[in-house]
Structure formats: C-alpha cells, structure tokens
C-alpha cells in the first residue's frame, strides 16, 4: 500500500510524492481552459441585447450541457460493455437529446426552451437510470446528479422559478425511496467494484460541479461588483465635479450696498440641485440699485442643475440690457419654455430690484413662494404678492407683471424656497413659516448673516437626523438706513 503525501518537502522510500506546486499549476490550467470555453460559448449563444449576466448564464449552461453530453456517451458505452443494454441506452439517449437541444438553441437562440429541456433531462434521467439498475445502492447513487436540476434552475432561471424544480426533485426522491430495493430492468447487475467506483465518481462529480458553478458565479459576481464599484466611483467623481461647477455659479460673496445688509445661501439635498439665487448688477454704478433672484427648478439632481444653469445664463444675459423687470422675466420665460418644451419641467422664480435712492422695492413673482417683509415698527409680516403666479417654462406667451412698494429702515426681506418650511422632523412635522417668523422677530436687531445662520441652525436642530428631501435656499435683506 502506497501513501500519498501532499507536501513537496518530504521524500521517503515507498512514498508517492505529489508536488503541490505542479498540482496548483494543473488546476489553474484547467480553470483557465474552462473560462476560455465559457467565454467562447457565451458569444455563440448570446444575443446583442443580452446583459452581461444573461450572457454568463447562457455560457455556463451551454458548457455544462456539452460536458454532460460527452459524459453521457462515456457512461452509456461503459454500461453496454458491462452487459447492461437498458441502462446503457439511457445516458446515450440523453446525449442524443441534449445534442439536438444544443443544436436547436444555436440556430434559434431560444434560451427558455433550451434551459427547460436541459434541466428536465438532468432531473429525470438519473432517476430512470437508478431504477433501471435496481435502486440507490445498486446504481452507485447515480441519482445524485438530479440535484443539479434545482441548483441549475436557481442559477439559470432565478430564485422564484427554481422552487418548482426543487419540489419536483423532492417528489422524485420520494418515489425513488418507495422503489428502493426493487429489481433491475435487465439481467445482470453492476460489479461491486464498479458500484464502489460509481459512488466515488457520482459523489465527487456532483460535488465538483456544484463547487465549480458556485465558484464561477461568485467570481463573476465579485467582478460585477468590482466593476459596479468602479463605475460608482466614476459617477461620484463626476457628480463631485458637477457640484463644484454649480457651486461656482452661485454668488461667491454677499454684495456690499450702502443702506443694505444682504446674505444668501443654498444647501442641496444631493450633490447638485435646482435651487438658485443670484445678486445682479442693475442700473448705473453708485445708484444703490441691486437685483436679487431666487429660483427653484422642479425636482432636483443633475437635470434640475442643468436647467438652473440655463436659467441663470438667460437671466444674466437679459439683465445686462437693463429694462423693466417684468419684461426681463417675460423674455426669459419665452426662451426657457422653448428649451423645456414637452419635458414637463419648469422653474419658479422671484425676482426683485431694490432702489435705495427712492426707497422702493419692485418685484415679479413667477409661481414662487412670495418673499416676506417684516416691519419691526408694527411687528407685522407681509407677503410680497403680485398679479401673475405662473412658473417659468409653462406657457411661452405668458406676460408677467411687476409690483412695487416703499421700504423703510429696519425692515427685513426674506426670500426662500419651500424646502425650508416644508422640511420635516422625525415626527413628520413641518418646520413651517411660523417658526421662521418667530426667529426673525427674536433676531430683528442682528445682521442679515446672523439671521440667516440662526434660521438654518434652527432648521438643522429641528430635523435632527432626518435627511433633507429638498434643496433649500435663503436670502435675507435688511434695510439699514
């Protein structure tokens, strides 16, 4: 009796030495050969519309079908040589049917039929072969090959469709148990040495195939996850660049205007968003005149960010030509409506101009939440409403009307998007405009920047750990003199 040692550093007389390095090299060559043929077969059986996962499933099933077909021929002739014609005809019949199924699939690309036919053959024929040989023990546990049918269904057809295959396998096993110990369908039986050999080959073969299948699918999944992670990192990098670009479109600093204290800020719930605010140079230098815009594009994310950038360019280009602000907004709407036609997107906008020389504020509201003005002298809030309330991009021929009123020192104008007062806490309660009113009242003597930071800090405490669901923008304008 010879002893096989799996260690290359031991060498004694009478001991068969197996070099583990050579064994690993041989296994790697086998693995590479299998992957090569699977890659070749994936091209032969796939459609141009197939996903990578679908191509993988088809390739592995074709590979297994080819291996099974060849093995069926070998086992069939083996049984015939042992004088078991009925048992020999079963794997040979399988090989013929399997070959026809493969040929049909290569011609028609009908994967569902191919998958079902192969799984049916794998499920039923081992049971028939076992019964022909006289039972589990007499057949060398050839029925173990049937377990590959539900396992194959799980891998090739999905979790839901694999359940009927497993139920069918269990039922056939029950029937096989009732038949255990029955007589063979032919004269003669397998020699004991061949039965023992069959046990080893069947158990080892099934185990090896299950391991190879699982390993290959796990490896493919790992590769897919790695590719997905790489793509995710690429997208995140692109979004980071987009965020940087969009942040550069927002004002880099608050404007310095005599008699006005102004602060503005936008916070996006995603890397990019559709909220927008801007400070515009209007009129001649030294006139104490400034334009302030707050906008909110429908939805958020990259599409909204692109529309926001378009609107910003249109507004800045149109403002450079001066003119009445209602004409500015109407012209911008006309162009924006052409750009978003049939997309279902739109943008709300509140555009205001403040003139310090005559202490007036003029504004146009295009479907936006009206700005609010707080007068500490009377301790009252008033919304800056106007006649037209349609958003930009809805109708191309919409004509917007401006409104105006006088302003006085100490008054505070707040322009914002609805993401602030509609933000919710863990209880589902909204932040609400009432909370903003209270904060402004308590901090009316502070700077615009302090008021803005107090509102945003209060919102953060109110939300606790709840993530923002919408972009938020807040502009505070305080009349100082």
pLDDT of residue 3: 40
Q: Which helix (H) or strand (E) holds 204?
A: helix 192-249
pLDDT of residue 4: 45
pLDDT of residue 37: 64
* Separation between Cα atoms, residue 216 and residue 152, nearest integer Å: 13
43 class by beta-carbon count within 10 Å (0-12 exposed, 13-18 middle, 19+ buried): exposed
List the beta bridge partners of residue 149.
Answer: none
CA angle 95, 99, 104 (to 5 degrees): 150
User: pLDDT digit string (tens) for 439-465?
Assistant: 999 999 999 999 999 999 999 999 988
* Separation between Cα atoms, residue 414 and residue 476, nearest integer Å: 5
* Separation between Cα atoms, residue 59 and residue 44, nearest integer Å: 8
Residue whose structure tokens are 């024929």: 125
pLDDT of residue 27: 66
User: pLDDT digit string (tens) for 73-91?
Assistant: 988 998 898 888 888 899 9
| H-state helical runs in 46-110 | 52-81, 85-108
pLDDT of residue 250: 87
Tens place of pLDDT for every residue, the chain, 481 residues?
444 444 444 444 444 455 677 767 776 776 677 666 666 665 666 777 888 778 777 877 888 888 888 888 988 998 898 888 888 899 999 999 999 998 898 888 888 898 899 999 989 998 998 888 888 888 888 888 898 889 888 887 778 888 999 999 999 888 877 665 556 666 667 788 888 888 888 888 888 888 877 777 777 778 878 888 888 888 888 777 777 787 788 898 999 888 899 999 998 887 777 788 999 988 776 677 899 999 998 877 788 888 888 888 998 888 866 668 888 999 999 999 988 887 888 999 999 999 988 899 999 999 999 999 999 999 999 999 876 678 998 898 888 989 999 999 999 999 999 989 999 999 999 999 999 999 999 999 999 999 999 999 999 999 988 888 888 999 999 999 7
391 class by beta-carbon count within 10 Å (0-12 exposed, 13-18 middle, 19+ buried): buried
| Whole-Å CA distances, 363 to 116, 214, 286, 335 | 70, 67, 21, 20
Neighbour tally for 72: CB within 10 Å:
22
Domains belonging to the chain, first-starting first, are: 19-229 (no CATH), 254-479 (3.60.40.10)
C-alpha dihedral, 166 to 171 to 177 to 182, nearest 10°: -120
């Amino acid at each position: 009796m010879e002893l096989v040692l799996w260690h290359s550093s031991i060498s004694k007389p009478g001991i068969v030495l197996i070099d583990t390095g050579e064994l690993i090299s041989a296994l790697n060559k086998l693995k590479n050969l299998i992957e090569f043929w699977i890659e070749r077969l994936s091209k032969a059986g796939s459609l141009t519309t197939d996903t990578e996962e679908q191509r993988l499933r088809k390739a592995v099933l074709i590979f297994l079908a080819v291996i099974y077909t060849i093995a069926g021929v070998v086992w069939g002739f083996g049984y015939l040589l042992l004088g078991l014609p009925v048992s020999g005809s079963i794997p040979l019949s399988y090989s013929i049917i399997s070959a026809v199924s493969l040929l049909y699939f290569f011609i028609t690309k009908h994967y569902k039929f191919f998958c079902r036919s192969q799984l049916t053959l794998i499920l039923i024929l081992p049971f028939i072969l076992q019964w022909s040989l006289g039972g589990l023990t007499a057949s060398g546990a050839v029925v173990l090959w049937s377990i590959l049918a539900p396992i194959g269904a799980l891998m090739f057809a999905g979790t839901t469709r694999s359940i009927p295959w497993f139920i069918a396998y269990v039922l056939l096993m029950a029937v096989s148990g009732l038949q255990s110990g029955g007589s063979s369908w032919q004269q003669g039986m397998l020699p004991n040495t061949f039965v023992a050999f069959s046990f080893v080959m069947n158990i080892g073969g099934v185990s090896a195939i299950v391991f190879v299948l699982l390993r290959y699918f796990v490896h493919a999944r790992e590769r897919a996850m790695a590719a997905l992670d790489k793509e995710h990192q690429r997208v995140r990098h692109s979004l980071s660049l987009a965020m940087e670009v969009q942040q550069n479109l927002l004002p880099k600093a608050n404007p310095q205007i005599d008699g006005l204290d102004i602060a503005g800020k936008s916070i996006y719930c995603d890397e990019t968003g559709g909220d927008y605010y801007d400070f515009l140079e209007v009129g001649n230098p030294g006139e104490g005149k400034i334009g302030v815009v707050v906008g909110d594009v429908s939805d958020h994310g990259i599409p909204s960010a692109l529309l926001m950038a378009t609107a910003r360019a249109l507004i800045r280009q149109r403002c450079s030509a001066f003119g009445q602000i209602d004409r500015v907004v109407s012209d911008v709407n006309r162009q924006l409506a052409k750009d978003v036609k049939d997309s279902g997107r739109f943008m709300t906008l509140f555009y205001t101009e403040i003139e310090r020389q005559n202490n007036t504020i003029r504004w146009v509201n295009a479907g936006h939440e009206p700005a609010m003005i707080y007068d500490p002298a009377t301790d009252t809030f008033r919304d800056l409403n106007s006649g037209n309330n349609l958003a930009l991009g809805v109708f191309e021929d919409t004509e917007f009307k401006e409104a105006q009123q006088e302003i006085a020192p100490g008054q505070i104008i707040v322009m914002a998007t609805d993401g602030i007062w509609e933000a919710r806490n863990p209880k589902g309660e909204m932040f609400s405009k009432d909370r903003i009113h209270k904060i402004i009242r308590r901090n009316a003597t502070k700077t615009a920047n302090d008021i803005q930071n107090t509102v945003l800090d209060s919102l953060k405490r109110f939300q606790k750990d709840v993530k923002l669901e919408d972009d938020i923008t807040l502009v505070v304008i305080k009349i100082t003199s």
